[in-house]
Amino acid sequence: MKTMLITGASTGIGAATARRAVAAGYRVALAARSKDKLDSLVTELGQDSAMAVACDVSDYAAQQAMTAAVLERFGSIDVVFANAGVGSNSSGTAKGDVEDWHRMVTTNVLGVMYTVKATHDAVVAAKGHYVLTGSIAGRKVLAGSIYGATKWAITGYGQNLREELRDDGVKVTLIEPGMVDTPFFDQRKPDAMQADDVAGAVLYAISQPENVLTGEIWIEPMKR
């Protein structure tokens, strides 16, 4: 039985992916800042299949502790879904909030890099798979979007990481969703995709044969 570590697992895409992963036979390690929500998800998925770890991904030491806890419980980390991310409360540069920028960069960019570094040895040992949550915002120009800039960083990082780890037998996939109706937004987005739609793309990527690498999946709602 393989183990999948998911950051940003308490709600939305992370939680939906955890449900799909357990249904596919994975054990899941669920990480987020909010342990209360994680504990509820563990109860839903079953104690034998899931564990919860409180972790702020912007803290590298916390990510190291998270990794150690997962290895102690499950013995391996085969798939890492680096999914934790935050949005912006301000718009553009001139009207932007520098504290908001700092929060986005440390979570959306450094947080992903910290996740990869903290889990690197375990994933290489397993010849495993990294899945990074990018965004369509990281593949096209959006006027003034600092959030988009953090996702452009993940596009570049994910592509470079893929080549860094290729000879180790480790796969790297970028999942690049458009608008998703999740708690990430304050208001409902009725024409957007559902979190489970993106979770399906994640499970597709990690279910491919050993000789097949799904490098990127761009997924968006039909209705704009």
Q: Which residues are known to be catalytic?
A: 147
Residue ranges of E strands in 125-189: 129-133, 171-177
Sequence-ordered list of residues with C-beta below 8 angstroms from that of 37, at least 6 positions apart, any chain: 10, 11
Residue for token pair 């994975």: 26
Cβ contact 180:193 at 8 Å: yes
**Neighbour tally for 186: CB within 10 Å:** 7
Cβ contact 50:32 at 8 Å: no
Using the Cα atoms of residue 113, residue 117, residue 119 and residue 125 in order, give the sign of their dihedral. Answer: positive
State the Cα–Cα distance between residues 198 and 133, nearest whole angstrom: 10
Furthest C-alpha separation in the chain: 51
The phi and psi torsions of 57 (rounded to 5 degrees) equal -65, -15
